């Protein structure tokens, strides 16, 4: 696919280049579909839809005074050129043809009459409406601010890309969550921790002088989803990212992103006052340290006036933090919050904290560390909590902190990159995982206290709200390392805007925009995507198993992993399997992690007969003969699930094979190859896990199950010193 890259800082050049390229696409000229264009391909719509859309496409009536106004109308131009093969007249006043009318009540006299309709919309919300102005039928894209108009344009383009009618159009949208952020785990040397899509997009070496045009396409893609923040650097942070040189580089990215409504944030290393400030301490109560952070914030805001704030990983996995000085996480977070407050910045303080020296169930530690700090954090602090209590596993129960800190805005941290879900090669659509967590009912204030209502601030009345996704983006031509991993970036963005949406609907939009609007493509691909997460759970960690992957790089199975620096970095710590049974007893008779949930939820998780089978081994240690809902003993069920996971991948392969000829050959081949890798690795997971657990329980395989291809020693001997994405 040809890159639809805008020319930076040159509206005409960028606009017409995009239009020319899109028009070229419309001519039917063969081009390579390499995935670069993401869901913004803007390929021609069918003649029937085009007829309806063209009636409005004679003019774009839009203001032209701010950078955001310009990118909104450019994007619409680009989209219409590709979708309809037309180049509408660009006007600031209404002419005599059908028109798309863009603007805010302040920026456009044609939008001013809709002022009252916009009142109920929040910041960045928008209204799409088919209306009559004078004698003309128009489509209005109206908002209270320019960014809202840009978001409205993207929504309108999505409707056209998916073939929706624009007749009687009435769409009102407001974001449910204020801060919708990507967290890049990108190091300053270009390496991406847990990244499977090549190197970092940010070329720190050539910034600020060279601004890669790809930065604009990154911003366009995020704006198309409503993502409005980007944390540029890894939470395992290097203090140099706060040095004057690197701040100038970050400021350049902020300048590029600003028209698209995206604020830049930085991960801050807590010990930066020592490392780049020359102080002897980073103690949060030390006046010199406080002064250093205030001056640092002033310096940052002088360069980046809309800087979002800091993300901090402190006293976790070896990172420095306030506890190094006997202070609390609140002391640390408040130190930075006070420095940022005069400028309107926020601190996103991570709750992913577990201590070296605490012999407590790891799943309980973050809760224990933070729950007592409720109410002790400044008003501009968000506590960023991973979706589950361990670490982005294929399935975890929701984190018990959600609902447990009513006086603190909690933001969600999802992982979009698939550290524990097969890296970039496995087709695993994460929409169902995100949906499962967001829709989970914490019961914290009675029924319907879903996780979504916690993080959007509505449950406890917080104006500050946030959601973060650990980005899966790199410099790979596909952006995400695989065609289907783009769907995870997409689903994250759509759910960040509205966590109540359905993962299936989002997948349907994505497939229509990314591959084809043909229902014979959309339906099977969506079905395949929707089943894919459960398939991965089955072949990797069925029935609530977790953290049983290989050590360090996390590539492939490693249920035998034992020993090493700490118990909770081993698999045996988590599955606790032996001759008699398997699972981590987190009931009231075990580690009592269940008590961290609201009583109604705790009772369900505590009861072996009521806990969802999908979480059985997360909460319970049960004998191998334990009778499952299927009537099978646990051991048989476990083997059945592993095998089922492999079969599900084979079904995905068969579905994809049938789509040959309906999906462009280049992407079809790529996906088919990755599915072959996935199928083989699913078999590897199944065989290695079955061989290992069988070595403990000595049980026969259930009838009809094929023995593992190799002895256990073979699986244990496999080494992958160059597996991608390892922490370093
Ligand atoms: C950025 C897991 C990952 C680490 C990551 C850490 C975190 O432990 O394996 O690579 O570090 O989570 O979220 O801080």
Which residue in 170, 288, 299, 317 is the catalytic one? 317
What is the spatial distance between Cα 616 and Cα 290, in angstroms, rounded to a whole number? 47
pLDDT tens, position by position, 121-178: 989 999 999 999 988 999 999 999 999 999 999 999 999 999 999 999 999 999 999 9
In this prediction, residues 524-553 reach a mean pLDDT of 98
Nearest CA to ligand 1 atom 13: 352
Q: From residue 170, how far is each of 117, 161, 163, 498, 509 by CA, in Å? A: 11, 17, 16, 18, 19
Cα–Cα distance, 616 to 623 (Å, whole number) = 12
Predicted pLDDT at 4: 42
Check pLDDT > 90 for residue 448.
yes
Give pLDDT, residue 274: 98
Identify the pLDDT of residue 97. Answer: 81
Specify whether the CB–CB gap between 443 and 600 falls below 8 A.
Answer: yes
Q: Is residue 19 scored above 70 in pLDDT?
A: no
Scan for tokens 């009318």, then name that residue: 101
Count of C-beta atoms within a 10 Å radius of residue 84? 22
pLDDT in tens, 401-443: 999 999 999 999 999 999 999 999 999 999 999 999 999 999 9
Whether ligand 1 lies within 6 angstroms of the CB of 398 is answered as no
Helix (H, G, I), strand (E, B) or coil at 488: helix
* Per-residue model confidence (pLDDT) at position 360: 94
SS3 415: strand
Distance CA 185, CA 311 (A): 11
Could you tell me the pLDDT band of residue 96, with boundaries at 50, 70 and 90? confident
Which residue from 237, 317, 413 has its CB within 8 A of the most atoms of ligand 1, so it is best to mutate?
317
Say if ligand 1 is within 6 A of residue 692 CB.
Answer: no
Averaged confidence pLDDT in the chain: 95
Domains of the chain, earliest start first: 45-173 (3.30.379.10), 179-514 (3.20.20.80), 538-584+621-717 (3.90.1330.10)
Atom of ligand 1 nearest to the CA of 413: 13
Query: What separation in Å is there between the alpha carbon of 303 and the centre of ligand 1?
Result: 30
Give residue 386's pLDDT. Answer: 98
pLDDT at 330: 98
The predicted-structure confidence for 679-695, as pLDDT tens digits, reads as follows: 999 999 999 999 999 99
pLDDT at 341 over 60: yes
Read off the pLDDT of residues 580-626 as tens digits, 9 standing for 90 and up. Answer: 999 999 999 999 999 999 999 999 999 999 999 999 999 999 999 99
Peptide bond into 208 cis (omega under 30): yes
Each residue's pLDDT tens digit, 541-566: 999 999 999 999 999 999 999 999 99
Question: Buried b vs exposed e over 202-217: b needs ≥16 C-beta within 10 Å?
Answer: bbbeebbeebbeebbb
pLDDT for 325 equals 98
Inform me whether the pLDDT recorded for 263 exceeds 70. Answer: yes
What span, in angstroms and rounded, lies between the C-alpha atoms of 349 and 365?
Answer: 16
- Tens of pLDDT, residues 202-214: 999 999 999 999 9
pLDDT at 359: 82
Which tokens hold the place of 344?
């309107």
**Model confidence band, residue 95 (pLDDT cutoffs 50, 70, 90):** confident
Q: Based on the residue annotation, tell me whether 33 is a catalytic residue of this protein.
A: no
Residue nearest to atom 11 of ligand 1 (CA): 236
pLDDT on residue 290: 99
The one catalytic residue in 391, 413, 435, 637 is 391
Q: What Cα–Cα distance (Å) separates residue 146 from each residue in 71, 149, 611, 709?
A: 10, 5, 48, 60
Paired strand residues for 410: 383
Contact 134, 101 (CB under 8 A): no
Nearest to 591 by CA among 358, 303, 288: 358
In tens, the pLDDT along 377-394 reads 999 999 999 999 999 999
Q: What are the tens digits of pLDDT across the range 24-35?
A: 444 434 457 999
At residue 296, the pLDDT reads: 99
What is the number of the ligand 1 atom nearest to the C-alpha of 554? 9
- For ligand 1, the distance from its centroid to the CA atom of residue 312, given in whole angstroms, is 13
Nearest CA to ligand 1 atom 8: 391
Residue 14 is predicted with a pLDDT of 37
Q: What is the pTM of this model?
A: 0.96
DSSP 3-state of 660: strand
- 111 alpha carbon, distance to own chain's centre: 34
What percent of the chain has a predicted confidence (pLDDT) above 70? 95
DSSP assignment, residue 245? H
Q: How far is CA 193 from CA 93, 180, 499, 570, 728, in A?
A: 50, 21, 27, 20, 7
Ligand 1, atom nearest to 313 Cα: 14
- Average pLDDT for 468-492: 98
Q: For position 31, what pLDDT does the model report? A: 58
- Is residue 604 part of the annotated active site? The answer reads no
**Are the C-beta atoms of 233 and 201 separated by less than 8 Å?**
no
């Amino acid at each position: 696919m040809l890159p639809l890259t805008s020319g930076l800082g040159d509206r005409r050049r960028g606009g017409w280049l995009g239009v020319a390229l899109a028009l070229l696409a419309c001519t039917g000229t063969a081009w390579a579909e390499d995935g670069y264009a993401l869901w913004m391909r803007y390929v021609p719509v069918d003649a029937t839809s085009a007829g309806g859309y063209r009636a409005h496409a004679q003019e774009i009536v839009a203001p032209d005074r701010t950078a955001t106004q310009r990118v909104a109308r450019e994007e619409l131009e680009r989209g219409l050129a590709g979708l309809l093969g037309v180049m509408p007249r660009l006007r600031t006043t209404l002419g005599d043809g059908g028109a798309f009318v863009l603007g805010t009540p302040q920026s456009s006299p044609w939008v001013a009459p809709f002022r009252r309709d916009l009142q109920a919309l929040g910041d960045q919300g928008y209204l799409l409406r088919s209306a009559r102005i004078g004698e003309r039928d128009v489509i209005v894209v109206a908002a209270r601010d320019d960014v809202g108009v840009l978001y409205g344009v993207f929504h309108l383009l999505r409707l056209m890309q998916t073939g929706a009618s624009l007749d009687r159009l009435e769409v009102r949208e407001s974001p449910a969550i204020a801060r919708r952020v990507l967290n890049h785990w990108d190091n300053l040397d270009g390496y991406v921790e847990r990244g499977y899509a090549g190197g970092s997009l940010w070329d720190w070496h050539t910034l600020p002088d060279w601004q890669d045009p790809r930065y604009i396409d990154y911003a366009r893609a995020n704006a198309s989803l409503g993502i409005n923040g980007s944390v540029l650097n890894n939470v395992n942070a290097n203090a140099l990212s706060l040095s004057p040189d690197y701040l100038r580089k970050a400021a350049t990215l902020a300048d590029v992103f600003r028209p698209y409504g995206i604020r830049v944030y930085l991960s801050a290393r807590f010990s930066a006052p020592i490392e780049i400030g020359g102080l002897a301490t980073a103690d949060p109560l030390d006046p010199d340290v406080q002064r250093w952070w205030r001056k640092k914030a002033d310096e940052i805001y002088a360069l980046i006036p809309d800087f979002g704030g800091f993300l901090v990983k402190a006293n976790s996995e070896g990172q420095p933090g306030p506890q190094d000085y006997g202070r609390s996480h609140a002391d640390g977070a408040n130190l930075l919050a006070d420095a940022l407050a005069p400028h309107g910045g926020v601190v996103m303080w991570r709750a992913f904290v577990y201590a070296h020296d605490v012999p407590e169930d790891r799943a309980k530690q973050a809760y224990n560390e933070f729950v007592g700090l409720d109410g002790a954090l400044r008003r501009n602090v968000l506590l960023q909590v991973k979706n589950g209590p361990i670490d982005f596993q294929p399935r975890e129960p929701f984190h018990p902190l959600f609902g447990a800190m009513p006086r603190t805005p909690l933001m969600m941290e999802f992982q979009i990159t698939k550290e524990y879900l097969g890296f970039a090669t496995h087709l695993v659509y994460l929409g169902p995982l995100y949906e499962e967590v967001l829709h989970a009912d914490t019961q914290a204030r009675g029924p319907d206290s879903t996780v979504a209502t916690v993080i959007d601030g509505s449950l406890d009345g917080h104006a500050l709200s946030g959601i973060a996704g650990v980005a899966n983006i790199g410099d790979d031509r596909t952006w995400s390392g695989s065609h289907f991993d783009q769907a995870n970036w997409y689903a994250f963005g759509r759910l960040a805007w509205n966590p109540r949406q359905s993962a299936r609907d989002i997948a349907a939009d994505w497939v229509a925009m990314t591959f084809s609007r043909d229902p014979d493509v959309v339906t099977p691909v969506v079905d395949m995507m929707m089943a894919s997460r459960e398939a991965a759970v089955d072949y990797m960690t069925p029935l609530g198993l977790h953290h049983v992957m290989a050590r360090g790089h996390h590539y492939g199975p490693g249920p035998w992993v034992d020993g090493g620096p700490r118990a909770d970095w081993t698999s045996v710590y988590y599955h606790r399997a032996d001759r008699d049974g398997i699972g981590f007893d987190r009931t009231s008779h075990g580690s009592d992690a269940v008590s961290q949930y609201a009583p109604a939820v705790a009772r369900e998780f505590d009861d072996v007969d009521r806990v969802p089978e999908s979480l059985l081994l997360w909460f319970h240690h049960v004998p191998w003969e334990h009778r499952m809902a299927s009537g099978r003993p646990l051991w048989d069920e476990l083997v059945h699930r592993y095998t089922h996971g492999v079969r599900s991948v084979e079904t995905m392969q068969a579905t994809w094979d049938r789509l040959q000829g309906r999906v462009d050959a280049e992407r079809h081949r790529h996906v088919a190859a990755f599915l072959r890798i996935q199928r083989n690795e699913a078999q590897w997971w199944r065989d290695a896990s079955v061989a290992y657990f069988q070595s403990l329980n000595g049980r026969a395989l259930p009838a009809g199950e094929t023995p593992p291809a190799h002895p256990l020693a073979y699986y244990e001997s496999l080494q992958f010193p160059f597996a991608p994405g390892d922490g370093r």
